[in-house]
Amino acid sequence: MRGLEKVTTMGLSSSPWFQPKPVAPDAACNMPVSRLRALLRDYTTLLGQQMYLWGRDVIHPRGNLLSENGFERRKSEGLEGTSCYRYHLDGGAFIELHGACAGYYEPSKKSAANFLYIRNRTRCFLHSGDEPPAPGFYTTESLHNGPALDLYFASLRFLDWWLEYEKWIAEETSANWRRIGYAAFASLPASRPSLPPQEAILWLNQYRHNPSRISRVSEWMRSFKGH
């Protein structure tokens, strides 16, 4: 279990914010496309699970945590009766979260920078539209599943916000908040839970910093179940 062993042998598995020493910048560029696609599938699985947890943040006992974190609540231009949340980043980029999709958008830059996850398709895409899609309505010509390397780097732009937000959640809520959400997700009849929240953050940090050395999520799952 290369990824898991690397973390635990360094005595850092209790800290989900541990960031491994980055490998050379061209590490991802030199990876086989099949390997990169496999890691993207694992990332997508964890993102799908995380969408449920972000949804629970809206109904936290002390109030809407997305709004507290700085998200702007907007009326959805797609599915009726739903809301979309937007968080502005530096340089004009922004994150959008909706029950149906999530994405990172940079309107001022070329379309390859845009990242989109569509929940009911359980897929991540490069999005080439000038504006974020209306949730639930996606044009085929605006969705692209590669090149794999471009999609990986686009996923990192979204992930940088994701990790920062989860660090904020860890600081602002009880240690049980994410664990309770994960247990609720696991109890859903059709759910297929992946890594628990803390282990998911550990894996995502390695996906961000050590993609050529990380083990697949399925290997991590077998290892954690064995302990």
Structural domain of residue 102, as residue ranges?
Answer: 26-220
Residue 1 inside a domain? The answer is: no
Question: Which residues have C-beta within 8 Å of that of residue 70, sequence separation ≥ 6?
Answer: 87, 88
Instruction: Tell me the three state secondary structure of residue 223.
Output: helix
In a domain, 101, yes or no: yes
Is residue 76 in a domain?
yes
Structure tokens at 209: 């910093």
How far is 201 from 181, CA to CA, in rounded Å?
Answer: 15
63 domain-assigned: yes
Instruction: Give how many domains the chain has, as a whole number.
Output: 1
Apex CA 157: angle with CA 153 and CA 160, to 5°?
125
C-alpha 93/C-alpha 38 separation (Å) is 28
Tell me the C-alpha distance between 199 and 18, whole Å.
11
Is 149 a member of any domain? yes
Strands (E), the chain: 72-75, 83-88, 94-97, 101-105, 115-118, 123-127, 143-144
Any domain includes 146:
yes
Q: Is residue 147 reached through a cis peptide bond, with omega within 30 degrees of 0 on the bond before it?
A: yes
The answer to whether residue 208 sits within a structural domain is yes
Residue 83 confidence (pLDDT)? 81
| pLDDT tens digit at each of 227 positions of the chain | 344 433 333 333 445 655 555 555 577 889 999 999 999 999 999 999 999 999 999 999 999 999 999 999 987 776 666 789 999 999 899 999 998 999 999 987 765 679 999 999 999 999 997 788 888 889 888 999 989 999 999 999 999 999 999 999 999 999 899 999 999 999 999 999 999 999 999 999 999 999 999 999 999 998 876 65
Cβ count near 220 (within 10 Å): 23
Residue 6 lies in a domain: no
pTM value is 0.88
* Nearest of 137, 72, 132, 135 to residue 101 by alpha carbon: 135
Q: Identify the CA nearest to 115 among candidates 101, 100, 136.
A: 101
